[in-house]
Amino acid sequence: MGKIERFSVSIENELLRAFDNYLRQARYQTRSEAIRDLIRAKIVEGEWQDPRAEVVGIITLVYDHHRRELTDKLTDLQHKFLREIISTTHIHLDHHNCLEVVIVRGLSSRVSKVANALISTGGVKHGRLITTTTGKALR
Ligand code: NI
């Protein structure tokens, strides 16, 4: 971590009250820590806008494993994106439902492509892409 700098911010009273409510809900101890996290979130969001940026993502998929063709399709897709997929974990949630967590890394355009392909596969009940960072852009 670099040298700490202080700066002042001008903000409307109502917006500051709303921000303080958010801090309480999110259990932040100080405004500074909350502001630092918001800035980092924006930097990560910006990284993802650049198709050539190296990013990290976590794809979650919930589906019914009794749909045999679906399990095969998801596996085939994952073999197509060997370079991007770092790890896959499969959890049997109950008799019918499975959760698959796929950790991906690479160019944001490629990682988005993997996520879209998996999530849009017919039979996937719920899919999400969590967008995060390699950390290089954060100091
Ligand atoms: Ni399963």
Topology annotation, domain 54-132? Alpha-Beta Plaits (3.30.70)
Distance 91 CA to ligand 1 centre (A): 6
φ/ψ of 74, rounded to 5, equals -65, -40
Distance of CA 11 to the CA centre of its chain: 30
Could you identify the residue written with the tokens 């596969």?
121
Q: What is the model's pLDDT at position 122?
A: 93
More confident residue, 125 or 2: 125
Confidence band of 138 (pLDDT split at 50, 70, 90): confident
64 C-alpha to ligand 1 centroid (Å): 8
CA distance 14 to 21: 11
Q: Inform me whether the pLDDT recorded for 68 exceeds 90.
A: no
Domain boundaries, the chain: 13-49, 54-132
pLDDT tens-place string over residues 7-52: 999 999 999 999 999 999 999 999 999 999 999 999 999 999 999 9
